[in-house]
Structure 1
Amino acid sequence: MKQTVVLFPAGGVGHVGPMTQLAKVFLEHGFDVTMLLIESPIKSTDSNESIIQSMAASNPDISFHVLPPIPPPDFAISTKHPFLLMLEFMLQYNEKLESFLSSIPRERFHSLVIDMFCVHAIDVAFKLDIPVYTFFASGAGVLSVLTQLPNMVAGRQSGLKELGDTPLDFLGVPPMPASHLIRELLEHPEEELCKTMMGVWRRNTETHGVLVNTFESMESRAVQAFRDPMCVPGQVLPEIYCIGPLVNKVSTNQEKAERHECLEWLDAQPERSVVFLCWGSKGLLSEEQLKEIAVGLEKSGQRFLWVVRTPAGTDDPKRYLEQRPEPDFNVLLPEGFLDRTKDQGLVLKSWLPQVDVLNHPAVGAFVTHCGWNSTLESIKAGVPMMCWPLGAEQKMNKVFLTTNIGVAVEMAGYNTGFVKAEEVEAKVRLMIESEEGREIRKRSVELKKEAEKALEDGGSSQVAFLQFLDDVKNLAK
């Protein structure tokens, strides 16, 4: 009799995507997998729902189950931060979650694996005596920092924001500028949003263990730090299992029959000659910044593939909820830019198959916001990165990639919110033309091999996953 694993991701492609990759690992080990979803209360043009529907359609072996809907909060009129509203909304699903989990016979129930933002489900799992594990979709470095952070701010009379770029010391990672932490965590420790987020990170380590989307050789210091008794003095942290990198695979030959136009364009470019620029599904830049990038790219003389989206309006967190019109290149890009660079680059308005692009032999560097999914896709493809973090934990990832791992350079100016054309030109040239760029590419190729090795039979990530399965079995005894 097959056992059932229930995976419970937070909404959004950035969370459902990695969870789907985890589901495939469970399927390979002979489990039935149910992906539990909450109907998103946010209707945005990023079309999360349609992408998630296509994920479900292309993964028929995974059972996707949507919990019965409850009335969503009104994000438009509430004065609360959308993140707080979302957490409150998800907490209200605990009754329906309990009902669904109770419907699975206990002898068939293997484990519940929750997303880092679904900590409210821990109480339900403990009540039903079900093994519950966290799936941390970011890296071990971020996990280590966020686990140590609540102790660091406890008792502080002011937020970390006032420290500016002062380096903070955490076990297992390079000195981290205070400004590079998740923005909301820099506020006063008693401020509601900061306090709530600290609570979420604390609860992430209250499960039976943490599955992390990374591989041990890449982040060994951070992994050891999490296992160190001094990570959180007086607290025994759960076991950590590095089971990644879990990313989408390159399209098969059958799927390539309907290839995206950008892949046809890349076919005509020399090997490792193209800079690929993409800031993820939430990465929005200003109109002024887009024009500046265009100037830098044109002056560099290097080939480029660039995804341009309609600019950000304000710093309001609710801007992510807005309907975003299609970008108008005539307004957003310098006059005549597309004509002058038609033989140099390709500019696209929306989605493209990022994994296929990164694995194309013509791509030589990736300008990225350093979201962890994009980071792992780049590492798995052996493509060096040019770091342009925007929010969330991306600045922390930038520190790891440039300082620790050595497969990236930073785009100076990201931390002030504006990168100049001269910087774009200089870094693009450095990555494609210079000896330093060749060295970074060489390290990227070596790291790609390490990633592949970790996922092979007998590799560290395979061994960690088998250890996790063994530990779940021992919990039941």
Structure 2
Amino acid sequence: MRETIVLYPSPLRGHIVSMFELGQLIRKRHPRFSIIIILSSASSAAPIADSSSITVLHLPSSAADAPAAAEPDQTPFDLARRDASNLRLALAAIAAAADLRALIIDGFSDAAFPVAAALGIPTYYYFTSGAVALAVFLHLPTLHGRTSKSFKDLGDETVNIPGLPPIKASDMPGGMLDRGWRFYDYFLDACRNMISSSGIIVNTCDSLETQIISAIREGSSVPDGPTPPIFAVGPLVESKVDGNGDGGDERERRHECLSWLDSQPSRSVVFLCFGSQGRFSAMQLKEMASGLERSGLRFLWVVRPPPQEASAKSTSGSNDDDGSTSLEKFLPEGFLERTRERGMVLKSWAPQMQVLSHGSVGGFVTHCGWNSIIEAVHAGVPMVAWPLYAEQKVNRAFLVEKAALALPLSMSGEDGFVSADELAKQVTELMTGSGEGKVVRERVSAARDGVVEALSDGGSSQVSLAAVAELWKRG
């Protein structure tokens, strides 16, 4: 029977695409393994490319799924729990027909861990973010045992996580802030299961997060027990991606913004893009526009309508990203006309990897999502960090304080408001400054070289992948 590895991502778009890239990498480097990707019943429209080398199976839905899926507070954890019985049947069928060596899951598909354990299948976690966030996850059970308070109630108190700079409690990942919410319990269970797993595959490389990976491997993150093997096999940059680092779609033809970039001087354009969920208030959008105008820089800016506008569109049944809403009403009067010679504003989407790889782009204002970070590093583009949600504030701490790959923004209030003057100052420093801006530009260039070396034949990422493959061969 063929030696087989099964991958089971959560139904989040970015996780599915990243897991598919991992599957392709395994097949390319270790073709002895057959790869099967099992998708949740909630992932029927998953944006993964056709591949004759990978088998894709969809878990069936049931009549009981409909009301559960309709609940407004359903999380990826809930969806994975709903699919657990069907996953067990699928894994049992695969194990009966093939030599099933391992199951690879991500944190949000954690409900698969006890299922695989009951079937005697070695389980590995694929951590789609970087080692900085992994250090937080692995240390959460320890932090949980040291206090009875929620992180949200600790406010500006410092949370010390081995290998990381000090982090404010309020900057911890959103799902971990309130220990009274079931989402927190899901995270805690996932963290504990990761620690008990056969190993953790991380979407990073040793040179990019050297000190953090060393701290994890040395056992600092899990002081009360053994740390599972850590395999840094990335960073895996998606071969087909959409404009926000979340996966490819039908818009892969050459975009108009690339033709515009062709006409701009080398490294002269600052690119602003904030992921598929990144939205700002109307007031903040106007402030951003004013900051870009004051900077005098060339810019390419991806704008999504404010949350209120998106909610209204959703309620009316229309798509707020379909181009039907004019951007002008969210921007200062006359802004588009005054900046049309040096700026381009796009509605909702841009081919991010292609933009970052273009020779005219010299800086990136980012929400600090991990996919966006590794795409920028891979392209050698320095960053300004503007975190919005999830683990992005933790990523910012790494980017700014640990790695010096990004400049920070001074943010105020609960919504993290950034003034026009602050944005203008930091993007100007990033693009032309001789102080911190120069340091960041040089550090990103060095990080890019390290990533290229790690991914090359004989590089650290290939060595890590070979090490985990050897474990699979032994069974």
TM-score by length of structure 2 reads: 0.89
Equivalent residue in structure 2 for 1:72, among 65, 84, 87: 65
1:171 aligns with 2:162: yes
Identity of aligned pairs, percent? 38
Q: 2:110 maps to which residue? A: 119
Q: 1:82 maps to which residue? A: 74
Q: 1:282 maps to which residue? A: 277
1:239 aligns with 2:238: no
Matched-pair contact (CA < 8 Å) for 1:250–1:356: no
Q: 1:259 maps to which residue? A: 254
Deviations 1:170-192 (A, max 9, x none): 111111111210133222x3443
Q: CA deviation at 1:138?
A: 0.8
Matched-pair contact (CA < 8 Å) for 1:380–1:451: yes
Q: 1:345 maps to which residue? A: 343
Report the AA paired with residue 369 of structure 1.
Answer: H
Indicate the SS of the match to 1:383.
coil
Q: 1:402 maps to which residue? A: 400
Q: 1:449 maps to which residue? A: 449
Q: 2:26 maps to which residue? A: 26
Flag the 1:88–1:183 CA change in 2: closer, same or farther, 3 A. Answer: closer
Flag the 1:195–1:456 CA change in 2: closer, same or farther, 3 A. Answer: same
Q: Show structure 2 runs of 5+ residues with no match.
A: 242-249
Q: CA deviation at 1:141?
A: 1.4
Matched-pair contact (CA < 8 Å) for 1:112–1:133: yes
Report the AA paired with residue 377 of structure 1.
Answer: E
Matched-pair contact (CA < 8 Å) for 1:72–1:89: no
Deviations 1:452-476 (A, max 9, x none): 10011111100001000112223x2
CA distance in structure 2 between the partners assigned to 1:298 and 1:17 by the alignment: 36
TM-score by length of structure 1 reads: 0.89
Q: 2:53 maps to which residue? A: 61
Q: CA deviation at 1:288?
A: 1.0
Q: 2:422 maps to which residue? A: 423
Q: Show structure 1 runs of 5+ residues with no match.
A: 42-48
Deviations 1:31-76 (A, max 9, x none): 32222111328xxxxxxx65x34x233x443222211113436479
Q: CA deviation at 1:230?
A: 4.3
CA distance in structure 1 between the partners assigned to 2:170 and 2:104 by the alignment: 32
Deviations 1:404-449 (A, max 9, x none): 1111011211674211111111111111121132331121111000
1:211 aligns with 2:213: no
Query: Mapping of 1:46-445 within 5 angstroms?
Result: 52-53=46-47, 55-57=48-50, 59-70=51-62, 71-72=64-65, 74=67, 78=71, 81-83=73-75, 86-105=76-95, 107-154=98-145, 156-187=147-178, 189-249=179-239, 258-313=253-308, 324-326=319-321, 327-413=325-411, 416=414, 417-436=416-435, 437-445=437-445
CA distance in structure 2 between the partners assigned to 1:363 and 1:133 by the alignment: 38
Report the AA paired with residue 209 of structure 1.
Answer: G
Matched-pair contact (CA < 8 Å) for 1:310–1:324: no
CA distance in structure 1 between the partners assigned to 2:141 and 2:319 by the alignment: 36
Matched-pair contact (CA < 8 Å) for 1:243–1:461: yes
Matched-pair contact (CA < 8 Å) for 1:26–1:32: no
Indicate the SS of the match to 2:36.
strand
CA distance in structure 2 between the partners assigned to 1:108 and 1:323 by the alignment: 48
Alpha-carbon RMSD: 2.6
Deviations 1:278-312 (A, max 9, x none): 10011111111111111111111101111111211
Flag the 1:145–1:175 CA change in 2: closer, same or farther, 3 A. Answer: same
Indicate the SS of the match to 2:308.
coil
Structure 1 runs (4+) greater than 6 angstroms displaced: none
Flag the 1:393–1:6 CA change in 2: closer, same or farther, 3 A. Answer: same
Q: CA deviation at 1:3?
A: 2.5
Report the AA paired with residue 11 of structure 1.
Answer: P
Q: 2:244 maps to which residue? A: none
CA distance in structure 2 between the partners assigned to 1:178 and 1:271 by the alignment: 41
Deviations 1:156-213 (A, max 9, x none): 23222232222221111111111210133222x3443323322222222222000000
CA distance in structure 2 between the partners assigned to 1:126 and 1:356 by the alignment: 42
Report the AA paired with residue 298 of structure 2.
Answer: R
CA distance in structure 2 between the partners assigned to 1:195 and 1:257 by the alignment: 39
Report the AA paired with residue 266 of structure 1.
Answer: L
Q: CA deviation at 1:231?
A: 2.8
Q: CA deviation at 1:277?
A: 0.5
Q: 2:37 maps to which residue? A: 35
Flag the 1:231–1:314 CA change in 2: closer, same or farther, 3 A. Answer: farther
CA distance in structure 2 between the partners assigned to 1:462 and 1:165 by the alignment: 40
Flag the 1:328–1:82 CA change in 2: closer, same or farther, 3 A. Answer: farther
Flag the 1:257–1:139 CA change in 2: closer, same or farther, 3 A. Answer: closer
